[in-house]
Amino acid sequence: KDDRLSTNNNIKISPIPTPSLQTPPASPQQPNQSKRLLQEILSRPGPYPMIAVPQKGYWVDGTDHEEQFDHRGMPVVPHPSWRAKIETDDTAKCYRRFFVGREHSSLIGNDDNLGPVLLSIKTENVANQEHTRILLRLRTGTMHEIVPSSCLGSSPNPAKMAKLLNEQLNIENFVPVLHPKASQLIANYDEHVLVTNFKFGVLYQRYGQTTEEDLFSNSDTSPAFDDFLSLLGQRIQLKDHKGYRGGLDIQNGHTGDTAVYDVFKEREIMFHVSTLLPYTENDPQQLQRKRHIGNDIVAIVFQEENTPFSPDMIASHFLHTFIVVQAIDPNSSNTRYKVSVTARDDVPFFGPT
């Protein structure tokens, strides 16, 4: 396993808002059109697509699941050419890595259109040639470049350096930052976008289930689902859990007794497993369960059998991406998984492919 850093040098300054836990409104939970689509698919002979995509609003990836078999009828599983990774952006750590504890200058200015600007510059030698490292912070994001000092001309100044990274900037005067704790404050500001805690929803779908009420009302599961959960993380006791809790109750048991949790490369991950959250009698919507999963951004849908899932089955302002998983030869030495992904159109495409 390895970390491979993204080459994208633009990252958002503003922290991504974490949605507060909200009880979803007691309103119709699924468009009739989507329900009719799923029922129409199920009325035909299988096999069925794992994901039935609505006419608009979502993209889908990973729909080719054909397998090859050897002369004994055993599946041929190719050696994977990929490795697990966490996609990160090193821009947030650039200031601490290249500037803190070294001679450099930080300056502030204000652009009438773009707002406050924080600029850090540092001269260094690369391949026996003088270069200037530039960090430019705007409301819209942070940019990082290292350029040969010769590109700055005979009379370099902060305004010219900033304009190299953003041509729209129009600042005449920059003021140096002279606070004794400036370096630590700037480093903390840059790194506030880094995320080390994650939470994901996990839903269990039986054959023929076409509504969110069906999904959230599942209580009994299967050995295949339990086997899949063991791949995601460790089954932990929530009582007095010391790590990231993902909004779950670790004192009074109001969100169940156990959960699935893991630490991967110094990142803590909590899974909101629907069947581990308390089941409420006489509540077809199971709002206690949806209160957590409906506030996640990403949910995993485990399909017990070949059956279609539609991303608009679940009414949620926050759920943007669904990773749909179906077991092949469950509970055997040849267990493997088909995986498809669907997400809202405003979610950028992501790997693996």
What is the residue whose two structure tokens read 């509970």? Answer: 331
Report whether pLDDT(249) > 80.
yes
Which has the closest alpha carbon to 177: 108, 131, 114? 108
> Between residues 262 and 81, which one has the greater pLDDT?
262
| Two structure tokens written together for 13 | 């300054």
Q: pLDDT at position 36, please?
A: 87
Maximum distance among all Cα pairs of the chain, rounded to whole angstroms: 77
* Alpha-carbon separation of residue 47 from 81, 266, 268, 334 (angstroms): 29, 41, 37, 21
> Between residues 84 and 195, which one has the greater pLDDT?
195
Q: pLDDT at position 353, please?
A: 63
> Between residues 207 and 17, which one has the greater pLDDT?
207
pTM score, two decimals? 0.77
State the pairing for strand pair 258-264/129-138: unpaired
Task: List the beta bridge partners of residue 153.
Answer: none
Q: How far apart are CA 347 and CA 273, in angstroms?
A: 23
Which has the closest alpha carbon to 105: 123, 83, 121? 121
pLDDT tier for residue 18 given thresholds of 50, 70 and 90: very low
Q: pLDDT at position 78, please?
A: 66
Report whether pLDDT(71) > 70.
no
Domains identified in the chain and CATH numbers: 31-65+196-344 (3.40.50.11210), 90-191 (3.30.1120.160)
> Between residues 32 and 129, which one has the greater pLDDT?
129
Which has the closest alpha carbon to 148: 125, 114, 167? 125
DSSP 169-203: ---S--EE---TTHHHHHHHHHHTT---EEEEEEE
Q: pLDDT at position 86, please?
A: 77
pLDDT tier for residue 228 given thresholds of 50, 70 and 90: very high
pLDDT tier for residue 22 given thresholds of 50, 70 and 90: low
Where do runs of H (alpha helix) occur along the chain? 32-42, 91-94, 158-165, 182-191, 212-216, 223-232, 287-293
pLDDT over 90, % of the chain: 72
Question: Which range, 77-81, 88-92, 223-227, has the best average confidence (pLDDT)?
Answer: 223-227
Q: What is the CA radius of gyration of the chain?
A: 25
Q: How far apart are CA 264 and CA 273, in angstroms?
A: 18
| Residue 95 contacts residue 135 (beta carbons within 8 Å) | yes
Q: How far apart are CA 158 and CA 120, in angstroms?
A: 9
Q: pLDDT at position 141, please?
A: 92
Environment class of 342 (CB within 10 Å of its CB; exposed 0-12, middle 13-18, buried 19+): buried
Q: How far apart are CA 164 and CA 181, in angstroms?
A: 28
Question: Which range, 16-25, 41-50, 199-208, has the best average confidence (pLDDT)?
Answer: 199-208
58-72, 134-148, 176-190, 314-328: the lowest-pLDDT one: 58-72
Q: pLDDT at position 240, please?
A: 93
Q: How far apart are CA 345 and CA 348, in angstroms?
A: 8
Q: pLDDT at position 179, please?
A: 94
